[in-house]
A and B are shown apart, each in its own frame.
Chain A
Amino acid sequence: MKDLSGQPLIVLKGVTKIFGEGQAAVEALRGVDLRIDTGEFVAVMGPSGSGKSTCMNILGCLDTPTAGSFLFKGVDVGQLSRNSRALLRRHYQGFVFQGFNLLNRTSALENVELPLIYRGISAAQRKERALRALETVGLKGWERLTPGELSGGMQQRVAIARAIVTGPTVLLADEPTGNLDTARSREIMDLLTLLNRDSGITIIMVTHEPDMATYAKRIIHFLDGTVALDEKTGGKN
C-alpha cells in the first residue's frame, strides 16, 4: 500500500451504483461526487432507500461502483485486486454494519478479537485490547456472552467495539445508534467524538436522528441517490 500523504482521504467522482438489470434495475446512487479529508466527523442523513448504505459499502471497499471512481488516499480502489482491497479494509478501516454482522455462537470477546487476529497481533495483546474496546462501549462483564445472549443494543455495541479495536484511520458506521436508547446513543456519540478529537480517527456515520447528527462537524444529505445538501456545522467538541 503506497502512502500518499497530502492526498485527501476519500474522493468519490461521479459514483453510480445500479442493482439488477433491465426492467428490474434500481439506480441506488446516481453520480455522487464527494471529498472527505482526514480528521473529519461526517454524518450522512437522508430518507430510507436514498442510497446511504450503498454509499457506505462502497467507501468500505465491500462493494464496487457501477461507474465512477473511488479514490482512497489517492489510490483508485477500483483498480485494486481483491487482496489489496482486503488489506485496505484490514489496516485502515473499521466498519459498523447496519445489521451488526457478528459471528453467531461466538463470544463478544472473540468477535472483537477477530480483526486483531487478521492483523497478526499477539494473543496477550489481542485480549487486552479487545477487553479495553468492550469496556469503552460499556460492555465490561459481558465479554463471555454470545450475540444470541445479548440484546440488540448490546450487539450493536459489540459491533462498534470490533470496528474501533484496531484503531482504524477511518470508522464507517451505518446507523451505529439505531438500536440504542437516547442515553446510550449519547454515550456512543461522546465516544465517537472522543475518538475523532483525541485519536484523529475520521468518522463517517449514517444516522436518521438529527440529534445525533449534531455531534458531527459536517452533515451530508442524500436524496434519491445523490448528495442533496452538504453542510458544515459546529459539532460538539
Chain B
Amino acid sequence: MTIGVKEVKLERTAADQIFLPAILEGLVTTARHFFRNTFGKGQPGIDTIRYGEPDVRTEDYYPDRYRGVHRLMYREDGTVRCVACMCCSTVCPAKCIYIEAEDRHDDEEKAPRLFVIDELKCVVCGLCVEACPCDAIRMDTKTHMTAVETREEAVLSKIDLLKRGAPSVAVQGGLGPDYRKLQPDRDPRFPGA
C-alpha cells in the first residue's frame, strides 16, 4: 500500500468570512433554549432531578444497586452477621477496612471485636460487598457519606455501621453451591429455580 496525500479543502464562503450569519444562527439556537426553559415547559426529554430540594428524597431516584455508605447486617438474634473472615479487608483495594476478631463462644464462628471503615479512603468500589460470604456488609443505604468537619468523624466504627443495619434472613455462611435448589423462594430474582 502506498502512502498517498489526501487533500481536505476547507470551504469558506463569504457568509462564513463575515461571521454574522453563523453568529445569528447560534444566537437563535441558544435563545430558543433560553425561552423554552425559562417560560415554557423545558427541553423535552431532559428531566432534572433536583437533589437537595427539601421535598426531593434522593433515595427515590438512586438505582437499587447504588453504592452508598456501608452498613453491617444483623442475624435474626440481633448479633452481628460478620464472622471476621477478613475477606472484605483483604479484597479492599483502598485497604480501608480494619478488623480485629474475637471469639463468639458458640464453638462455630468468630465475630469482629473491632470493625472500622475509613470512608475517606474508600473508593466506593463495592468489592467488599461482593467478597462477603455472609451478607454481613452492604452498601445499599442509598445515602452519601455526609460532609464531616474532622477526619475522625469519617472513620465509622462497628456501632456506626450496625446503626444503619437491618436483620438479614440469609442463611449464615450461605447454602453452598446448591442454594437455589435448597431454598427456591429465598431469592425473588430466580423464582422456582
Whether chain B is bound by chain A comes out as: no
B contacts, CB < 8 Å to A: none
